[in-house]
Structure 1
Amino acid sequence: MAISLTLFPHKFLPKVRLNLVLALFGLLVGGIILTYTYQRDVEKETTYFIWKQAKLQSISKNVPRPLKDVLLTEPKPKPGRTIFFLETSRTVRPKPEMINNMLQLTARQACAIESAALHNPNFEVFVLFAGPTYRYHENSSQHQQPIIDAILSYKNVQLRQLNLRRYVTGTPIEDWVKYGELFSSRFPIHHVSDLLRLITLYRYGGIYLDMDVVLLRSMEDVPLNYAGVESFTHVANGVLSMAPTGFGHKFAESCLLDFQQQFDGDAWGHNGPGVITRVAQRICGTANISLLLEDRTRCQGFNVFNHTAFYAVSYRNWRHFFQPQYLQQTLARTKDSYLVHVWNQISKLFHIKVGSRTAYGMYAEKNCPRAYAAAGKYL
């Protein structure tokens, strides 16, 4: 206390205390200002970072992404428990611009896919796009594909792309495809499609369906290894089933070898229904198609369905699906069918109004309700 009084005479104590208080107050205010400034800068940087990340994500979502490769991506098709569809329009000479290779499906294609997923919930449904195919992120501002959303609302639907040369690797026809004769065909898209369905069933087994069908009931309990006739001269290849092992795998191999050995690039159906017909005739030991239907035991387990199963309405009568005056007749004709095949190659430009009383409209409303609702005004 004596020292304090010596250093700070009594008359100066109030002044010293005041200065100390002012100094402490200044430090406190300065600290508050510095803290506020720092927090404000941090908030600015954080806000900018969040904005930048959101911007990058927005840009990323608006950049089309390629579909995943079926050979490289999980989940893979379940052998013998998968239904396959193929889209091959970009297989040959795809356009280099990404925007020209965007994922697209028509309402009828979506209906085929949905009807398969709806009626066969215990099977996977894989839609394979041959060639580079891109799609926008579902949250992209460019995303305007209610048809795609409709089919992807089913958990058992997968969209994939494939590279033909990679896809054929390890199959009996690998070297022939890489040699290039296939691409000299007059009908390359159709003949690639004919080949890819055989390669797919050779790889995985299961069921292949054309994308111009509508399933009317489940096919899960139908034993594998079958096709159906569309006439008294040909077993068609629009619906094919082969087991992934045993007889089914050997049948698929025989079809691939026949495709290669008998290939004719100038003939439309020679490499499609022609392959299945020739192999079935050899295995069944007869060229008489009617015998394949009458004697189920002669084909070593390969079942050939009569035309009512898949092709109850012939291609000559394709308009019966789309014209109201044939509604009752067509429904009666297909009442025992597993599916209907609407012959897209000749019917694709014939559109019907949603809600019209036509056979196809009735099939779609019942068997692909989400695609039907997303179709807009026309199917």
Structure 2
Amino acid sequence: MLAAKILGCRLVNQAKSPIASIIFFAVLMFFMLADTMICNISLEPAAFTDKEDSQELQILKVVRKTSSDVVVPLPWTVSTQNKIIEVDEEHRNSVPSSLSVRKEHGVGKFRRKLPDYGIFKSDELTKRFHGRVLEFFNNGCEVHFFMAWISTVESFGRRETMAVESVFKSHPDGCLMILSRTMDSIRGYRNLKPLFDRGFKVMAVAPDLPFLVKNTPAEAWFNDMKSGKKDPGGIPLAQNLSNLIRLLALHKYGGIYLDTDFIVLKSFKGLKNTIGAQNVDGTSKNWTRLNNAVLVFDMNHPLVFKFIEEFALTFDGNKWGHNGPYMVSRVVGRVEGLAGYNFTILPPMAFYPVDWIKIGSLFKEPKDRAGSRWVEAKVQQLKEKAYGVHLWNKRSSKFRVEEGSVMGRLMAVHCVLCKNKHTS
């Protein structure tokens, strides 16, 4: 373009007639057109490269921050200008190609770390699982309860203990099995010993996941996850394993599953093959979302089998609730009313009487007479209509149980050890 301008200036100086002017402009246009074509040709590869970089950045952007005990994909750093892909020092000698990055990104580090993820293992302890379950529940149990705990034994605190206590307050002859490798330990035994000493039937048992998935739709999912063929996603894997283990336990043995942040208020003995609605439509009163924090089902119930099948076929480790509350909602929405599926859906008041957004109100001390009346009315309502209260622990764990609050009143009535009830 610069050459064209210089040549143009020379021609202008030399132009002495209209013919010379015409020749000048024709030559000038020729150089401008040629220059433009050359620029376009040189820019096309650059534009294409930028587009590829943008797509690669979007693909690799699936890395999520999770808790320290959850295996996550490799921490990639991508530069769209220089096409530099970096990994942390631990994996610097095994940087894959850009194509394998896109294919293996979600599962690479998980495959390397899997041997350390204890719940996938079978050992001498877990191989006794089935026998221990049968022996425990063949012990004059009025009702069979399950809970699942995949976190550390140290994090099983006062609130979880209160949930366990509430089970026995309403079911003194019931049996509660906590499915947990970490709680099936000396420290876990010490946590539960005060209940043992009072004659309550509670035991923590390390689950044998390979045994539980065997001959179920989740067996192929388990094998793919164990071999590193399936992406565990950014949601903590423990959360999704808890969603699956509760279903497998109910499928194999039947009974009642409760989350460890559920306070039982009355006996479950009258419930059979039951799931609870979390939300309903304000006009039609039809459920809009179910939840899996409380499940009551017979052994080999077809709906539980469908839940396991849906979990395995549609697993997505990057969407919160997809393999839990949303999963049970999808399945029930398809099979509700079909022959062979006999189950009951209870309204939110049964298990989820307070929405997770408003759960903090149950922990607050009343500040005036109106507040005291509200607490009294709420306690009475829960006593009459609710089987229990789901505390939505992810949200409410930061709240202290204040003196005179709804939760303070409920814990005082439904505890059996009744220690430190005004702490989180």
TM category, shorter: 0.5 to 0.7
- Count of residue pairs the alignment pairs up: 278
Structure 1 residues 344 and 137: alpha-carbon distance in aligned structure 2, compared to 1, 3 A threshold: closer
- Work out whether residues 86 and 130 of structure 1, in 8 Å CA contact, stay in contact via their aligned partners in 2: no
Structure-2 residue corresponding to 1:331: 379
Where in structure 2 are there 5+ consecutive unaligned residues? 1-124, 281-287, 367-373
- Work out whether residues 408 and 422 of structure 2, in 8 Å CA contact, stay in contact via their aligned partners in 1: no
Structure-2 residue corresponding to 1:216: 265
Structure-2 residue corresponding to 1:4: none
Matched position secondary structure for 2:129:
coil
In structure 2, C-alpha distance between the alignment counterparts of 1:68 and 1:377, rounded to whole Å = 40
- 1:1-379 to structure 2, matched below 5 A, reads 69-73=128-132, 75-77=135-137, 81-89=143-151, 102=153, 105-130=156-181, 133-136=184-187, 145=190, 147-152=191-196, 153-180=198-225, 181=230, 183-222=232-271, 224-232=272-280, 233-245=288-300, 249-285=301-337, 300-325=341-366, 327-335=375-383, 336-352=385-401, 356-370=403-417, 372-373=418-419, 375=420, 378-379=423-424
In structure 2, C-alpha distance between the alignment counterparts of 1:258 and 1:351, rounded to whole Å = 38
Matched position secondary structure for 2:410:
helix
In structure 1, C-alpha distance between the alignment counterparts of 2:318 and 2:218, rounded to whole Å = 20
Structure-1 residue corresponding to 2:17: none
AA aligned to 1:219 is F
AA aligned to 1:107 is R
1:2-37 Cα deviation digits (max 9, x unpaired): xxxxxxxxxxxxxxxxxxxxxxxxxxxxxxxxxxxx
Offset of residue 67 of structure 1: 9.3
Structure 1 residues 376 and 329: alpha-carbon distance in aligned structure 2, compared to 1, 3 A threshold: closer
AA aligned to 2:193 is D
1:123-143 Cα deviation digits (max 9, x unpaired): 3211111458421597xxxxx
- Work out whether residues 113 and 211 of structure 1, in 8 Å CA contact, stay in contact via their aligned partners in 2: yes
In structure 1, C-alpha distance between the alignment counterparts of 2:237 and 2:165, rounded to whole Å = 28
In structure 2, C-alpha distance between the alignment counterparts of 1:154 and 1:240, rounded to whole Å = 26
- Work out whether residues 400 and 422 of structure 2, in 8 Å CA contact, stay in contact via their aligned partners in 1: no
Structure 1 residues 299 and 203: alpha-carbon distance in aligned structure 2, compared to 1, 3 A threshold: closer
Offset of residue 377 of structure 1: 6.1
AA aligned to 2:290 is V
In structure 2, C-alpha distance between the alignment counterparts of 1:228 and 1:376, rounded to whole Å = 27
Structure 1 residues 67 and 179: alpha-carbon distance in aligned structure 2, compared to 1, 3 A threshold: closer
In structure 1, C-alpha distance between the alignment counterparts of 2:158 and 2:188, rounded to whole Å = 20
- Work out whether residues 313 and 333 of structure 1, in 8 Å CA contact, stay in contact via their aligned partners in 2: no
AA aligned to 2:423 is Y
Matched position secondary structure for 2:239:
helix
In structure 1, C-alpha distance between the alignment counterparts of 2:323 and 2:220, rounded to whole Å = 18
- Work out whether residues 131 and 163 of structure 1, in 8 Å CA contact, stay in contact via their aligned partners in 2: no
AA aligned to 1:269 is G
Runs of 4 or more above 6 Å deviation = none
Instruction: Quote the RMSD (CA, aligned, Å).
Output: 2.9
In structure 1, C-alpha distance between the alignment counterparts of 2:201 and 2:377, rounded to whole Å = 34
In structure 2, C-alpha distance between the alignment counterparts of 1:216 and 1:116, rounded to whole Å = 8
1:240-265 Cα deviation digits (max 9, x unpaired): 111114xxx21111110011112111
Matched position secondary structure for 2:291:
coil
TM-score, normalization by structure 2: 0.60
Query: Rg bigger for which structure?
Result: 1
In structure 2, C-alpha distance between the alignment counterparts of 1:160 and 1:328, rounded to whole Å = 39
In structure 2, C-alpha distance between the alignment counterparts of 1:131 and 1:253, rounded to whole Å = 27
Matched position secondary structure for 1:157:
strand
Higher RCO (CA < 8 A, seq sep 6+): 1
In structure 2, C-alpha distance between the alignment counterparts of 1:149 and 1:67, rounded to whole Å = 22
Matched position secondary structure for 1:231:
strand
Offset of residue 68 of structure 1: 9.3
AA aligned to 1:343 is W
In structure 1, C-alpha distance between the alignment counterparts of 2:254 and 2:142, rounded to whole Å = 5
- Work out whether residues 292 and 325 of structure 2, in 8 Å CA contact, stay in contact via their aligned partners in 1: yes
- Work out whether residues 259 and 271 of structure 1, in 8 Å CA contact, stay in contact via their aligned partners in 2: yes
Q: Percent identity?
A: 25
TM-score, normalization by structure 1: 0.66
In structure 1, C-alpha distance between the alignment counterparts of 2:222 and 2:406, rounded to whole Å = 41
